[in-house]
């Protein structure tokens, strides 16, 4: 089961420059754990002791996972995960 994960420029040092990588797992937590296996170091940029880092936004098919089930959000085949740093608008 492959889930597409889109990686922001700032984290591509961990993915060998790849914009988009495949990962496995049935929850967001499992996907991040799997990412860390293949791209060591990336997990620590996404998570801290309290969960998702404050300035990291993660979207499951364009919906912010903080308004779904956070790290426990279920993911499945065909799903796409997008990681973005929080930026200002206005």
Partner 1 sequence: MRFDSLLQSVGHTPLIGLPRLSPSSDVRLWAKLEDRNPTGSVKDRAALNMILQAEAQGLLRPGCTLLEPTSGNTGISLAMVAKQRGYNLICVMPENTSVERTQLLTMWGATIITSPAAGGSNEAVRVAKGLAAQNPDWVMLYQYGNEANAQAHYDSTGPELLSDLPEITHFVAGLGTTGTLMGVGRYFRDHKPEVQIVAAEPRYGEVVYGLRNIDEGFIPELYDASLLTSRFSVGPLDALKRTRQLLEIEGIFAGISTGAILHAALGIAKKADEAGQVANIAFIVCDGGWKYLSTGAYEGTLAEAETKIEGQLWA
Nearer to partner 1 among residue 4 and residue 63 (C-beta): 63
Nearer to partner 1 among residue 77 and residue 86 (C-beta): 86
Contacts of 42 (CB under 8 A, 6+ apart): 7, 11, 14, 15, 35, 36
| Least CB distance to partner 1 at residue 81 (A) | 11
Given candidates 22, 25, 27, 45, which one binds partner 1 under the rule CB under 8 A?
Answer: 45
Which run of H or of E encompasses 22?
strand 20-23
The yes or no reply on residue 8 touching partner 1 (CB under 8 A) is yes
3-state SS, residue 31: helix
């Amino acid at each position: 089961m492959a889930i597409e994960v889109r990686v922001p420029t700032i984290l591509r040092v961990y993915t060998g420059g790849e914009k988009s990588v495949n990962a496995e797992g049935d929850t967001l937590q499992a996907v991040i754990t799997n990412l860390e296996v293949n791209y060591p170091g990336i997990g620590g940029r996404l998570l801290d002791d309290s969960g998702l880092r404050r300035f990291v936004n993660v979207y499951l098919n364009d919906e912010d996972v903080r308004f779904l089930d956070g790290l426990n959000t279920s993911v499945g085949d065909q799903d796409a995960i997008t990681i973005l740093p929080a930026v200002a608008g206005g």
